[in-house]
Amino acid sequence: MSEFDIQYKELVSDILKNGYYAENRTEDNTKKVFGKVITVNLQQEFPMLTLKFTPFKSLVNEMRWIYQIQSNDVTWLQERKIHIWDEWANEKNTIGNAYGYIVNKHKQMDKLLADLKNNNQSRRMMINLWQCEDLNKMMLTPCMFNSIWDVNDGHLNTHVTIRSSDVALGLPFNVAQMSVLNHMLAQVSGLKAGRIIFCLTNAHIYEQHFEAMKEILNREPYDAPIFSLNKNIKDFYSFTDKDVNLLNYKYHPHIKMRVSV
């Protein structure tokens, strides 16, 4: 049984039962809770949600778009039939100075890779997408905005901060994405994937998702799938979506849910 799915159900239950009903920047109200933590040991399982179908290749390519391609151009995603960012695209079909733009502007992945290979006991290994001088030039400010990386006994660990977590739609993507990124970075740095901690400041469920999430609570988790990564890749920028796969991914049916813009 998937340990991530168990934690996910506990979080969903907590929000629906105890959440504070609140307005937000969208037209859809939420129930929210403060200060939740999800922990994953990548040596024990890959945290791919089994409680509902989650498109693995789509989330992998969105992660690559940010951290590997380092682009803000939504066209790259659309060419791969990914339309997650269509609602936020501007007249140039970009999301402004956000996400991949910031990674590239400050060469954050290059710095992280250099430290992982040459100075992995540094306490300054970080990717920070919250850059104040660019916030007013972003179509959407980053939700999963910060990750801190740490190496213990040859294992790569990650601390992730999500300031605003859409638990129904965003969180399953984010957890799997950062887990894939951890595996990739560990491999090219001569390390093993380790543990990830996700710290959720505002964990919420939108009102229109309440019934879907109640259905999630009625479902029993399957065993976590097996993660597979092409072991021949030694350069982070050489990975493609074909190098990343899941084996034995068993899941409950997809639940269609509208995204709040």
Q: Over 90: is that where the pLDDT of 1 sits?
A: no
Q: For residue 254, what pLDDT is reported?
A: 92
- Residue 145 contacts residue 165 (beta carbons within 8 Å): no
Q: Over 90: is that where the pLDDT of 201 sits?
A: yes
Catalytic residue among 40, 125, 143, 193: 143
Q: Over 80: is that where the pLDDT of 260 sits?
A: no
- Residue 31 contacts residue 22 (beta carbons within 8 Å): yes
Closest CA to 246 of 98, 119, 60, 79: 60
3-class DSSP assignment, residue 208 = helix
Mean pLDDT of all residues in the chain? 97
CA distance 16 to 165: 15
Residue 197's pLDDT band, with cuts at 50, 70 and 90, is very high
- Residue 40 contacts residue 47 (beta carbons within 8 Å): yes
Point out the least confidently predicted range of 62-66, 111-115, 158-162, 251-255.
Answer: 251-255
- Residue 71 contacts residue 63 (beta carbons within 8 Å): no
Q: Over 90: is that where the pLDDT of 92 sits?
A: yes
- Residue 169 contacts residue 175 (beta carbons within 8 Å): no
Tell me the mean pLDDT in the region 147-155.
98
Q: What would the pLDDT profile of 24-67 be if each residue is shown by its tens digit?
A: 888 889 999 999 999 999 999 999 999 999 999 999 999 999 99
Q: For residue 8, what pLDDT is reported?
A: 98
Residue 106's pLDDT band, with cuts at 50, 70 and 90, is very high
Task: Give residue 140's identity as a one-letter amino acid code.
Answer: L
Q: Which domains does the chain have, with CATH numbers?
A: 3-167+178-247 (3.30.572.10)
Closest CA to 241 of 61, 100, 54: 61
Q: For residue 74, what pLDDT is reported?
A: 98
Q: For residue 23, what pLDDT is reported?
A: 85
- Residue 222 contacts residue 2 (beta carbons within 8 Å): yes
Where on the phi/psi map is residue 96: left (φ > 0), alpha (ψ -120 to 50), or beta? left
The gap from C-alpha 13 to its chain's centroid, in whole angstroms, comes to 21
Q: Is 132 considered catalytic here? A: no
CA distance 213 to 169: 10
Q: What would the pLDDT profile of 128-150 be if each residue is shown by its tens digit?
A: 999 999 999 999 999 999 999 99
Q: Which percentage of the chain shows pLDDT scores above 90?
A: 94
3-class DSSP assignment, residue 72 = coil
